[in-house]
Amino acid sequence: EIVLTQSPGTLSLSPGERATLSCRASQSVSFYLGWYQQKPGQAPRLLIYGAFSRATGIPDRFSGRGSGTDFTLTISRLEPEDFAVYYCQQYGSSPYTFGQGTKLEIK
């Protein structure tokens, strides 16, 4: 099973700042990585798939990069609605696994 490790566990930033979230895989997943946003009481929402492709309706302030074992989600300028928990997920190898999450909180 591929283990995904996200860092940091919590990120405290202010609206307008840039956020960089990291996801590292225990073995290569090629480009088969997605990112999700989850707000309290809601289901996760797909942001990025294929490491860098934005899902339908996702603003262009969200961008993904990386391949193999190291991936990054960047939010260029934080909006108030961006404060949430973010998960990465690999689908390169079954069982498909998620990282433990990064909580993005308002500083």
Partner 1 sequence: QVQLQESGPGLVKPSETLSLTCTVSGDSISYYYWSWIRQPPGKGLEWIGYIYYNWSTNYNPSLKSRLTLSVDKSKNQFSLKLSSVTTADTAMYYCAISRSSGVFFDSWGQGTLATVSS
Residue 26 or 100 with smaller CB distance to partner 1: 100
Q: How many residues line the site for partner 1 (CB under 8 A)? A: 24
**Burial level of 86, CB count in 10 A (0-12/13-18/19+)?**
buried
The CA-based diameter of the chain, rounded to the nearest angstrom, is: 38
**Burial level of 61, CB count in 10 A (0-12/13-18/19+)?**
middle
The answer to whether residue 97 forms part of the interface with partner 1 (CB under 8 A) is: yes
Rg (alpha carbons) of the chain, rounded to whole number: 13
Task: State the binding string over 58-87 for partner 1 (x if CB under 8 A, else -).
Answer: -----------------------------x
Among 19, 23, 25, 49, binds partner 1 (CB under 8 A): 49
Is the bond preceding 15 in cis, omega lying within 30 degrees of 0?
Answer: no
Q: Least separation, in Å, of the C-beta of 73 and partner 1?
A: 14
Chain centre to alpha carbon of residue 66: 12
Interaction with partner 1 in 2-41: which residues (CB under 8 A)?
Answer: 32, 34, 36
**Interface with partner 1 by CB under 8 A: which residues?**
1, 32, 34, 36, 42-46, 49-50, 55-56, 87, 89, 91, 94-101
